[in-house]
Structures are given as structure tokens and as C-alpha cells.
Amino acid sequence: MIPILIAVVYFGFFSILFGFMARRKAAKAAAGDTGQGKNFFTASGQLGFLAFMCVFTLAPLGGGHTTALFESQAGFGVAAAWWGILAGGVFVPIFLLWFAPWFKKLNALKGVVTFPQGLGRIFGPKIKIYNTSVAPAAWMAIAISELLGTATCIYTLAGGQLAFSPWCVLIAGILMLIYVLFGGMLQASYMGVVNAFVLVIGAYVAVAFAAHSYDGGAAGVTASYALQDMAWHTNLFHLTPQVMMNVALPVVILHVLAVSSEHVMYQPVLGAKDNKTMRRSAFPGGLLNTACCLPFVMLGVIGTSIASIAAKEPILSVPELALLMFPKALIGLLMVALLCALLSTGSGLILSVSHVLADDIIGPAINKKPGDKGYVALSRILIIVVTLALLLPAMRMNALLITLFFWSFSLSMPIMFNYLLGMTWKINRKAAWITLICATAVNFWWTFATPDWAGLFTLSFWPVAFVTIGLGLILNAIMPGEPGMLRQMKEMEKEILAKKS
């Protein structure tokens, strides 16, 4: 009962408080309904350094850096932590130093407010339709993994007495809904600041307690694996071909060429005050991102060193460790910390899918635009519908979470690579379409009918990466095209300055 009370009080109090604050601030800044509609999904220009850094850093964190890692450490050991280390050390700085300012410029000069709109500005409206049709499916697949991770926390908070499906999954969906339903992006950003601190403190306190309580401490964990002839399990630098091909290399390529296409990454960008705010966040945000994932891998490693826990599903390694070893108050703190990561990403994905539906599909069809009367009501209805659409597949999902991540990321990879080529090199619509179609076909082939000869390349990520990068570069090298969008926008800025002078 105590763990549940801690979680309910924490998320209930802050969600309601920040939802009220966000609505009050939007109403104060708005002229009529106009400003509120525009601010609901983007918090346009209202996020300073701390709020932006926290909400952006937590956006890609979620299940990919927590539940999927303490699940996958059962096979890779503590070396699974390279997923989080490289995401924070490589992806976050690259995105905030380059990709984020590019999108901010697209917003200022081209009026772009969603990633599909940005892609459409480069390659035309048809590719925007493709993006709005396919990409949200990938985002929702990732949101399902966040929902399952959240359900795992509910399972732990209930002492393992509540059925994982449907009840834990259903409660998880309700939590995600409350998280952003009332105040949108501004509500999520306020929560992000508090969540970042609670996440770091709660996770590391749990690691310290587990290591102290374990028989023999950290050395006892190492000895336990050594007795099982698995000493490599506690070696961070046990970089086998499997670790390199399934963890280290994929995380860099997938985050840069797939996660960067998720609109959930661009909503905080539109909320940032300016480019300086984003660039200041690059390196401290990267460190925070890495710091948040490491303790969950450590807890998973400690958990699976215990025979009774190792015999259960890997995704339950941390929950079972907490139930076995932690006092109830610490179980509550750890699960709240984990929920901070999962709800931040899961609710952000729900918000981003709803934003794309509202601005790019349903809104235009019923003549509703940001700022129109009823736009916020439409937005909230879509958030509810998207959440409900996640619940049924989540209740029936049996696959490893990391598999779901790889499939989703592979679906997004050709979209982002074409975007990068169109921004920095040249715009060739035929080359973009050929690359998209071929890479998507390969992703489905490799996912549902993996060849026996695949070897280390069993993940669909690898053939999709080869086709996307190879075909994209070759076609753009041999086919003529327009100058890249960055060059076009630079010329546009010169024209604007010339007119002003």
C-alpha cells in the first residue's frame, strides 16, 4: 500500500498542479483562444534552459534506456549500458547542436510545426502524407513499449498481486493520459524538471541500497556470476561481436538516423526560447541522459545474479529485486523514478502522434487550425483516442521490448536519412521515394522472414541501414536535384535582410 500511495501522491499532485499552471499561463499569454491553441502542443518559445534540457533529455529516455536495458542485460550483461552511454554522449549533442537549430529555422522561415511538415517542405506534399501515415505507427509501437514498462512499475507497486494484463496495463494507460491531457507540452515540461531530479536520486539510492544489502556487496555480485562461469556479465568492456552489432553500433546509427525523425524530439525544440538555449543543453543534457540509464542496468545485473529472479522473465528482474530486497518506501521511490522516465517518453509520444494527427490530418479535414476555437478540444480528444489505441496491443504483447524498438527505429530510418540529404546536400524527390520504398520493404522482409544466413545481421536494422545509406547516396550522386534546404534558407535569409536594409 505504501509504494502505491507514494506514486499516486507524487504523480497525482504534480500532474494536477502543473496542468493547472500550464493552462493558467497559456490563458494569460493568449489573446482569446489563439495563443492557447498554438501553445498546447509546443509551448511556443516558453521553455528556458533548465525546462528545455530536462524535457528534451527525458524525451528519448523512457523504456529504451530503462526497461529494455535491464531486460537485455540478461543476455549482454552490464555492457548493455553502452546503449545509454552512447545515446547521451553522441546522439543528444548531435541533435541539439545541429538538428534542433535546423528545425527551428524551418519553423521560422517555412512555418513548419511538425516533422512531417518539414519533410514535406523539402520533398513535396506526397512524401508528407507517407510520413504522417507510416511514422506515427512507429511512434505508437515505441509508445506501446513505454506503456508496458509503466505497467511493470504498477505490477511492482502492487507487490506482484495485481495481474500484469489487463489491470497493470490499463492503469498505466490512465497515468499516461493524465500526464499531458490538461496542459499539453507546458505541463510535460514542468513535470520534466521535477522528474529529472527524482529519477536520478531515486535510481542511484536504489543501487546503493541493493549493493549494500547484497551478501558481500558489489564484490558478492561479481563472485556470484563468476561461480556461474559468467564473470563477463559484470564487465562493461566485454564488447563481443554480439554487443557491438546489437547494442553499441545500432544505438548511434539508430538514434541519429531514426529517433531524430520522431516528432516527440521536435516539440521541445519549438518550445525552446532560442538556439542558445538548445546548444547550452547539448553536453549537460547528454550527461543527464546517460546518468539516468546506468542505474537500471546495474539493478538488472544485481537482480539476475539471484537464481530465483533469473528464472523469471528478464523484464521483471528489477521489480522482483525490489520486492525481494527493498523496504516499501524505497520500492515506492524506485518505481516513481522509473515512472518518471517511462511516463515522460510515453506521454510525449502520445502528445506527438496527436499533434501530427491534429495539424496534418484531421485538423485540415475539418478546417481546424492551431488557434482556432475548438482546436484544444480536438487535441484532447485525439490524446484520449491515441491512448486507447495503444491499450489493446499492449495487453497482448509478448515480444522483447528491444525487438519492438529496433523494428520501429528501422521504419523511421529511411525517412530521417532522406531528410538529412535534403537538408544538407540536394533535394531529389525520385531518389527519396525509391529509397523509402526499398528500405521499408527490406524492413518487413527481415522482420517477418529473416533469412537463415543472416548471422550477426539478424536485426532488421542492419539491412535497412545498408539499403538506406547505400541507395540514398548512390541515387543522389548520379541523379540531378535542387540545392539542399539549408542553402535555400540561407539565400532566403539574405533576401529578407536585403529588403530590411
pLDDT for 409 beyond 80: no
What average pLDDT score do residues 116-130 get?
93
Residue 178, classified by CB atoms within 10 Å of its CB into exposed (0-12), middle (13-18) or buried (19+), is middle
Where do we find the cell 502528445? 351
Hey, which residues does 482 pair with through a beta bridge? 427
- How much is the pLDDT for 2? 66
pLDDT at 371 over 70: no
Task: Provide the pLDDT for residue 204.
Answer: 96
Average pLDDT rounded to a whole number, residues 152-181: 83
> In the predicted model, what is the mean pLDDT of residues 220-227?
95
* Cell numbers placing 410: 528501422
Average of per-residue pLDDT across 105-126: 93
C-alpha grid cell for residue 218?
558489489
pTM: 0.86
- Most confident by average pLDDT, 14-18, 24-28, 51-55: 51-55
Q: How confident is the model at residue 8 (pLDDT cuts 50, 70, 90)?
A: low
Evaluated on CA atoms 487, 492, 496, 501, the torsion sign reads positive
CA distance 327 to 89: 34
Residue 472 has pLDDT above 90, yes or no: yes
**pLDDT class of 30 with cuts at 50, 70, 90:** low
Identify which of 117, 183, 187 has the alpha carbon closest to the alpha carbon of residue 379. 183
Instruction: Give pLDDT, residue 34.
Output: 46
Q: What digits encode the pLDDT tens for the residues 347-361?
A: 888 988 998 988 888
Domain boundaries of the chain, sorted by first residue: 2-33+49-326+337-356+371-500
Q: Is the pLDDT of residue 438 over 80?
A: yes
Structure-derived torsion over alpha carbons of residues 310, 173, 43, 141, reported in degrees to the nearest 10: 60
Res 275 pLDDT > 50? yes
| 15/52: higher pLDDT | 52
Cα torsion 361, 366, 371, 376: sign: negative
Provide the pLDDT for residue 401.
54
Q: What is the mean pLDDT of residues 138-162?
A: 83
- At 312-332, the pLDDT tens digits run 888 889 989 998 999 988 988
Asked if the model's pLDDT at residue 162 lies above 60, the reply is: yes
Q: Residue 25 pLDDT > 50, yes or no?
A: yes
Provide the percentage of residues in the chain whose pLDDT is more than 90: 43
Topology of domain 2-33+49-326+337-356+371-500, CATH:
Sodium/glucose cotransporter (1.20.1730)
> What pLDDT score was predicted for residue 33?
43
